[in-house]
Amino acid sequence: MPLFDLPLDQLRAYRPDRDEPADFDDFWSRTLAEARAFDAAPVYTPFDLPLPAVDVYDTSFAGWGGDRINGWFIAPRGAQGPLPIVVQYIGYSGGRGFPHDHLVWPSAGYAFMVVETRGQGGGSYSSPGATGDPHGGSSAQTAGMMTRGILDENEYYYRRVFTDAVRAIDVVATHPLVDPERIVVHGGSQGGGIAQAVAALHPAVKAALVDVPFLTHFRRAVEITDKDPYQELVRYLAGNRAAEERVFRTLSYFDGVNFAARGTAAALYSVALMDAVCPPSTVFAAYNHWQGPKEIAVYPWNEHEGGSGFHREQALRYLHKFFA
């Protein structure tokens, strides 16, 4: 993929006006209050696996509507705490996978929790999931998740997803191994978009690792990329020609740019300049609105894989310095 978006000097200054509904904060306050009316009821079941350096737990908790959300909780073997924790959210269509997929952060001395995205992971060969989504919304949709409930912000799929992700922070903050003053959210692509939102919605989050985030600056994304998952929105609009205003109003409640404008935690972003899945201008739109201390790692020659293992090393060094 060649360079296709704005030049880097223009990206660094790209800070578009935000399309934000007047009741954005009220909507999220009401949504989270409704979710917190349910007991999170976390369950940590020891998982027998020959990994002598870590303790592994098959975990679940109540997310939006009291629905059970699954994940893995992993900590250094025999740790007494309090430990910093990294809470990770997953890319589009992936599940929690296997415990041995998630050993980097525990090996660095962190507690770790990976949180499933409801309704995803069922078709993933490499990272299967175990969490369904019993709520489909009342409107028609295209294949995939992007248009599920798209005509009503109260029914939209990502209302449930973001709420599940916030509840995960409620849960880990009370775990006896976890230091509630050292909570980090992390994710790439869809997971990056979720982490970005959670860092803005939950005051306990102290740092966010936001890699090539999806779910950000929706209108520009659908106008300049021909890649899925954003193309799910394009296909829906192509077939529902009168729905544009309603669709983008719904999306404005979930746009990462609007969350970034409320983000005060420390943030390390990453962006790839040849990324046609999450175009670089959409990433910089959020980054340049972020209110807290921030850094961004730029990978000029990469597509959606971004910095991959190289950036994981950067993230490890970033958090080591941050918590030191």
Residue type, 147: T
Distances (CA, A) of 76 to 14, 47, 49, 83: 42, 14, 14, 10
The answer on pLDDT for 82 being more than 70 is yes
Share of the chain above pLDDT 90, in %: 92
Taking only the tens place, the pLDDT of each residue in 199-228 is: 999 999 999 999 999 999 999 999 999 999
- pLDDT score, position 169: 98
Q: Per-residue pLDDT averaged across 233-241, rounded? A: 97
List, for residues 42-59, the tens digit of each pLDDT value: 999 999 999 999 999 999
User: 256 φ, ψ to 5°?
Assistant: -60, -25
Which of the following is catalytic: 124, 152, 179, 304? 304
Catalytic residue among 60, 189, 270, 281: 189
The tokens for 2 are 């060649």
Coil/strand/helix, residue 260: helix
Cβ contacts of 9 within 8 Å, gap of 6 or more: none
Cα(149)–Cα(155) distance, rounded to whole angstroms?
5
pLDDT of residue 24: 98
Q: Would residue 304 show up in a list of annotated catalytic residues for this protein?
A: yes
Instruction: Grade residue 2 by pLDDT with cuts at 50, 70 and 90.
Output: confident
Domains and CATH numbers, the chain: 8-323 (3.40.50.1820)
Q: Are 1 and 274 in contact (CB under 8 A)?
A: yes
DSSP codes, 267-292: EEEEEETT-SSS-HHHHHHHHHH--S
Length of the chain: 324
- pLDDT at residue 124 in the model: 66
Exactly one of 175, 275, 281, 289 is catalytic; which is it?
275
Would you place residue 68 in the very low, low, confident or very high pLDDT band (cuts 50, 70, 90)? very high
| Chain segment 246-305, per-residue pLDDT in tens | 999 999 999 999 999 999 999 999 999 999 999 999 999 999 999 999 999 999 999 999
Q: What is the DSSP string of 93-144?
A: T-----GGG--HHHHTT-EEEEE--TT-STT-SSS----------SS---SS
Q: What is the pTM of this model?
A: 0.97
Decide if 189 is catalytic. Answer: yes
Q: What is the DSSP string of 85-105?
A: EEEEE--TT-----GGG--HH
Q: What is the mean pLDDT of residues 229-233?
A: 98
Which class for 130: exposed (0-12), middle (13-18), buried (19 or more C-beta within 10 A)?
middle
